[in-house]
Structure 1
Amino acid sequence: MFNESYKLDHNLGAVIEGLSISTATVAPRGPKSPVSPIDHDSGSETQAFPSSFSDTQSASRDERGQAQASNDTFNRMWKLSDQLIARGASDLEYLLKLKKKGWQDENLDNYFAQERHVADNASAELNSNWYRKMQKVFGEIDRATECIPRSQEAGSFRFLDLGCCPGGFSSYILKKNKNATGVGISLPVDQGGYDSALEEGLLERFTLHFVNLTKYNLAVDPATATFNSSTGTTGSAFLRLEDQLGASGPSKKFDLILLGCSHVRKNDDIRWEVDQLLLSQLVIALGYIRPGGKIVMKMSIMERILTSKTIRFFDLLCERVETVKPLTMHAKRGSFYLVAHGVGRGVEGHRQEEFLTKLKEIWEELTFGGQDGTGRFLNLEDFDFVVTTEELKDSERSGEFLDKLVELGRKVWQGQIKGLEGLFRAENAKHTDRGRRPSRGGRGFWRGEI
C-alpha cells in the first residue's frame, strides 16, 4: 500500500489543476485510488498501490501534488503510454519527456504549491473570477462540439449539472438557450463547498440542491440494500436521489448531463470517496439521461488505463465521443473534457441498463465492501465488464480503439504541451529577471533540448 498519508478533498473542482470549480463531495484521507479517470491532481496515479511495491518503488509525491513512479514498471501497470506511442502518439511521447524534464526544475514547485494554496483558500473575489472563467471554458467546449442548441433550434432543453457551483457552466447554457431549464447539485457551503454566483435572473430557470453527491443511495435496490450498521453506515445515512430529481421516468430525463466533479484538499474523511464520486456521477448520468442525450465529463490523463476504459464505456454506448482541451484554464494540466453524443445509440447502446446495474454494483462495493465492510478503492478489474486490461493492452484485439484513443488524445496532448511550454518560458524569464540563473532542469529545457 502507499503508506504516505495526505489530505485529498473532493470539493468537486476547486482544485486549480482543472479549475472546474464544481462542488459536490467530501474528502478522503490517506492513499488515493490511482485509477480514477476524474481529474485528481495533475495526472497523478491515484489509487491504493499494490503491496508488492515498497514506498520507494511505488511512488513519491512531489510538491506539485503529483505521484512520480520511480521505475518504469509502475507506469506500465497503470498507463497505456507505450501502446499509444507505438501507434503513432508522437505528441504524447514528447509531452512525457517535457513533463519529466520539468520535474527537474525546483522553481516550478513553488508555482504549483501556490496554485494549490489559492485553490484551497478561495476568496469571494476569486470565486467570482472562476465563475467567469468557467463560462469561457464551456464556451470552448460548446464551440468545439456544438453540444448546446440555441433557443430557436429546439423546444425545451433540460440539463443537470453535477458539481455546479459557482455555476459557470450552467450560466453559459442558460444564457445561450433561453428555453433551457437546469438542475444543479453542489456540496453545501458549510461542508467546504462553494456558493452559487448565478445571476438572480437565471435562477428562475435553475433549481439548486446543496447535497453531498456521495451520500445518495445508489444501490441496485435501495429499498433492500444491506447497510453496515456496525460502522454506523446505515440506510438513514443515505439520501434518496428521487427527492431532488424525481423518479427517473421519461418526464424527468435530461437532454444534457454535466459531470464536472473534482476534489480539493481540506477535509479529512473516508479515503475512497474520490472513487465513490466517480461512480455516483456515472450512475446518476446513465439513469437520468434521455435516449440520444449528451454527457459532458471532466477527465484526466488520457493514457491512464481506467480513463481509457471509461472512454471505451461511452464509446460503446454512444453514437460518437469527442474530446476538448480548454485552454482558458486547463492548458498546463492533464485534464480534458469528454463529450458523448447520442447516449444509448452506440454499437452497445442496448446494454445501457446492464451497464447501469453494473455501475451500481461497483458503487455498493466501494461503499460497503472491503475486508471490514466499510468500503474499498476502485480497481482496474471493476471496469472489466467494459474491456479487460489485458485486452486493452493487446494491439491485435484493441487496435482500432487504441487508434481512436490516439486521435482523441492528439489535441489534448498538444494543448498541454503548449501550456507547459508557455509556463516554463514564463517561469524561466521571471527568475532570470530577478538575477538568478535558470534552474538546472530548465536551462537546456527552455531551448527545447528534450
Structure 2
Amino acid sequence: MPAGLQSIHIDTVPGWGNDDLQLLKNLKRLGHTSPKYREYLRTQQDTADNAGPDLQLVWSKKMKKIMNQIDNSGAADKLWVVPFTNRSFRFLDLGCCPGGFSTYILKKNKESTSVGVSLDPAQGGHPYLLEDALRVRQTVIFADMTTFQLGDPEAVNPTPSYTQPPLIPVPNILFARDFDLVLLDAHHLRNQTGSSQDLLAISQVLLALLSIKFGGTIVMKLASPDSQYSATMIFMLDMLSASIQVHKPYAMHRMQNSFYVIARGVGGKPDRRLYLQNEVIPGLRRVWECLRQRNRNSGPRNGSGKEGLVVGDLDFIVDKKQLESYGGRLHELCSCVWKLQATALETLFAEMGIHNT
C-alpha cells in the first residue's frame, strides 16, 4: 500500500534544518530505540483505549483548560476566539464529546448556542459529559461523520457493502452557514472499524467548510506540521483566511505531535470565498468519494488498516513541489510547536534516564 500523507514528511525545504525541528527529530529517534519509552507509549495507549468514567471526566476538564489557552492565544492583540457576552455567538463542535471545549465556550459567552457532533457512545464514542445546565444551549447529533453523504450532491448513493454502513443525509442544521466558529477535534479511535482515519479527517474538513459562516473562525487539530497532510491543511487555511496562527497547548499535548491551527476570517473576502466554493470544496468532495471507494474495496479490516490518502490526492490544493516553497512560512508559523514538544521530551527522557549512548 502506498505511504499515506500523514506519514510523509517534507525534509527538503530550505531552512527546515533549524535547531528546534532537528532536535525534535533526534529526540524521536532516541525514543524509538528506547524500550523504556516504547513501554511508556504502550501504557499510554492502553490507558486511552480503556478509559473509564473518572478518566473521561479528567479529560473533559483538561479540554476546558486547552480551549481557554486557545481562546487567549491572541489576547495580546485582542483577538479572542470566543467573544465575551455582548452579542449572539454560534459554534459547531465536531468531536464534541466528552464536552470540554463546549463547556468552556458556553460558560464564557452566556448568549452562545451550539451544535455538537460526536460518535454515539453506544458505538464506542466518548460519553457526553456537558453539564446539565448548559445542554439546553447545545443540540447534539450522535453520528459517525464518515457516514454523512459529503460527495457530489447529484450522485446516486452506492449500495452499502458489508464493510461500510449506508450513507445518511447531512442534517440541515449543519448547512445553514450560521456558525461563527467551527472546532475540528474528532479523532479516529484505534478500535473503530468501518473507515479510515483519513476519511474521518476529510469528512471533518468538508463539514467545517460547508457549515462555517463566511468570515468565521476555524480551529483545527492537526499533527506534525512537517507531515505533508498537515502542511497542506495549513497552506489551505492560510489561503482561505484573513489571518492564521498555530498554538500547541501545554496541557495534554506537550509531548504529542498534535497542535491546533486557528484560522480567522475564513472565506471572508470575495476571492477567498470563490476559491473555497469553486476549488476547495469540489476537490475535497472528490477526495472523500475516492476514500469511501478505497475503504469499500479494502475488506473487513479495522480503521487503521483501511486505505487512506495517497500522494497526489490533495495536489489540487498544493503539490509537494509548491509546498516546499511554502517552507519558510510554515517554519515561521510552527517553530513554537517543535520547540515545546522537544523541551517536553527532553524533560521526560531525563526523568526516565534515557540518554544518547
TM-score relative to the length of structure 2: 0.90
Q: CA deviation at 1:314?
A: 0.8
Q: What are the equivalent positions in structure 2 for 1:297-446 lying under 5 Å apart?
A: 297-345=220-268, 348-354=272-278, 355-368=280-293, 372=297, 376-393=307-324, 398=325, 401-428=326-353, 442-444=354-356
Q: What are the equivalent positions in structure 2 for 1:165-314 lying under 5 Å apart?
A: 165-221=97-153, 223-228=154-159, 231=161, 237-243=166-172, 245=173, 248-249=175-176, 252-267=177-192, 269-270=193-194, 272-314=195-237
Q: Quote the sequence identity (%).
A: 33
Deviant stretches of 4+, over 4 Å? 369-376
Check conservation: 2:159, 2:166, Cα contact below 8 A: no
Code of the residue aligned with 2:219 in structure 1: it is V
Code of the residue aligned with 2:135 in structure 1: it is L
RMSD of the alignment, in Å? 2.3
Question: SS of the residue aligned with 2:5?
Answer: coil
Code of the residue aligned with 1:141 in structure 2: it is I
Give the structure 2 partner of residue 59 of structure 1. Answer: none
Question: SS of the residue aligned with 1:293?
Answer: strand
How many residues align structurally? 344
Check conservation: 1:137, 1:328, Cα contact below 8 A: yes
Q: CA deviation at 1:325?
A: 0.5
Q: CA deviation at 1:345?
A: 3.3
Residues in 2 aligned to 1:322 and 1:256: alpha-carbon distance in whole angstroms: 15
TM-score relative to the length of structure 1: 0.72
The structure-2 alpha-carbon separation of the partners of 1:112 and 1:151, relative to structure 1 and needing over 3 Å to count, comes to same
Question: SS of the residue aligned with 1:321?
Answer: strand
Residues in 1 aligned to 2:191 and 2:157: alpha-carbon distance in whole angstroms: 31
Check conservation: 1:163, 1:187, Cα contact below 8 A: yes
Give the structure 1 partner of residue 35 of structure 2. Answer: 106
The structure-2 alpha-carbon separation of the partners of 1:371 and 1:170, relative to structure 1 and needing over 3 Å to count, comes to closer
Q: CA deviation at 1:376?
A: 4.6
Q: CA deviation at 1:367?
A: 0.8
Question: SS of the residue aligned with 1:423?
Answer: helix
Give the structure 2 partner of residue 79 of structure 1. Answer: 9
Give the structure 1 partner of residue 302 of structure 2. Answer: none
Code of the residue aligned with 1:95 in structure 2: it is L
Give the structure 2 partner of residue 120 of structure 1. Answer: 49
Q: CA deviation at 1:373?
A: 9.2
**Contiguous gaps of at least 5 residues in structure 1:** 3-32, 37-44, 46-77, 429-441, 446-450
Residues in 1 aligned to 2:167 and 2:100: alpha-carbon distance in whole angstroms: 28
Q: CA deviation at 1:370?
A: 7.9
Q: CA deviation at 1:168?
A: 0.3
Check conservation: 1:135, 1:169, Cα contact below 8 A: yes
The structure-2 alpha-carbon separation of the partners of 1:343 and 1:167, relative to structure 1 and needing over 3 Å to count, comes to same
Question: SS of the residue aligned with 1:382?
Answer: coil
Q: CA deviation at 1:182?
A: 0.7
Check conservation: 1:163, 1:186, Cα contact below 8 A: yes
**Contiguous gaps of at least 5 residues in structure 2:** 75-79, 300-305
Q: Does 1:148 align with 2:82?
A: yes
Moved more, 88-97 or 122-131: 88-97
Code of the residue aligned with 1:80 in structure 2: it is I
Give the structure 1 partner of residue 5 of structure 2. Answer: 35
The structure-2 alpha-carbon separation of the partners of 1:263 and 1:369, relative to structure 1 and needing over 3 Å to count, comes to closer
Q: CA deviation at 1:391?
A: 2.3
Residues in 1 aligned to 2:336 and 2:247: alpha-carbon distance in whole angstroms: 7
Check conservation: 2:83, 2:109, Cα contact below 8 A: yes
Check conservation: 1:92, 1:413, Cα contact below 8 A: yes
